[in-house]
Amino acid sequence: MGDYNIDEQYKDLLETILRHGVEKEDRTGIGTKSIFGYTIRWDMSQGYPLLTTKKVAYKSMITELRWFLKGRTDLRWLLQNNCHIWTGDAYSSYVRTHQWELDDDYYKDVKDFEKRILEDDDFSQVWGNLGFIYGKQWRDFGGLKRMGEERPGVDQIADLIKNIKENPDSRRLMVNAWNASELIYMKLPPCHYGFQIYTSELTLEQRKEVFCNRLGKSLHFADKLEHEDLDKDEVPRRKISLMWNQRSVDTFLGLPFNIASYALLLKLIAIEVNMVPDQLIGNLGDCHLYLNHIEQANELLEREPYMLPEIDLINVDILNGEFGYALLDYHSHPAIKAPLNN
């Protein structure tokens, strides 16, 4: 299944939901068609899995991942970096208590809200704090700073990197965002609630292939090389895979972000621990299409995929959420607009 184009896997999921999904009510009031239980698997050697059947706003996806890795939960930082994908969750809380002050123009109200987040420190602290969401759980699980009390939490990302380096065959290489005791402090409970890492040794031939690909040489160039020779050039000895688990899958808007984000996270971790990215696996729970996304899904199903892009990463500092990137040869169909249901 690893060479099964990621766009085709995505289209198959859309078709499955459209054909076999059951209609359900949901918290947004829009309603969905949904199925339960689906797996996506991607071989990272086949390209970076950024959908081509519609243009994905990859810059926002990358900004969000940096935000998670930094352990941040503030809307202001996202807005300062031109990322608006969490505005709706913060704004919906504000609306519930200030609806009487708002105009009838939703988009004007949202813009005014974002402006106040950026300019008013007190307002930003109250309404721009998204609570104990992903970044808090990834970098400070169980930590508490409140009313003079301070309790250090667990930096799961730092521990993960350390444990991969020290015990790469461990079955405990996991990060968990679902903290049941802190759900009440989150603007939105985590949809993708955890991921696990798996590593295994590369054969000598696989290492030679990595070495030759790095140099742009044919495999004959490395015929006489042994493991010790490859070690001198810091050629990775292991490959690394990532599996994420997701309880709730907004299939049209959210899932393309999730796939690309975890693929990027896998590549970042691989660089940090000097391993080769291998398999990306997504275990998906409630896979749904909102009823106001059905038309858009059918439009996408008519499109044929392009070749996948590659992404080059430099200056990776995963513990500070910093890295440079270049997305290469991304050709896609136009974006398909769909309502964001909060």
Active site residues: 191
Q: Cα separation of 158 and 118, whole Å?
A: 30
Q: Cα separation of 247 and 255, whole Å?
A: 12
Question: How many Å from the N-terminal Cα to the C-terminal Cα in the chain?
Answer: 34
Which two three-digit tokens encode residue 262? 């975890």
Which two three-digit tokens encode residue 83? 């990322």
In the three-class reduction of DSSP (H, G, I as helix; E, B as strand; rest coil), residue 192 is classed as: strand
* Residues forming a β-bridge with 310: 328
Which two three-digit tokens encode residue 237? 């000895």
In sequence order, the 6+-apart residues with CB closer than 8 A to the CB of 128 are 74, 75, 76, 90, 117
Q: Cα separation of 268 and 273, whole Å?
A: 9
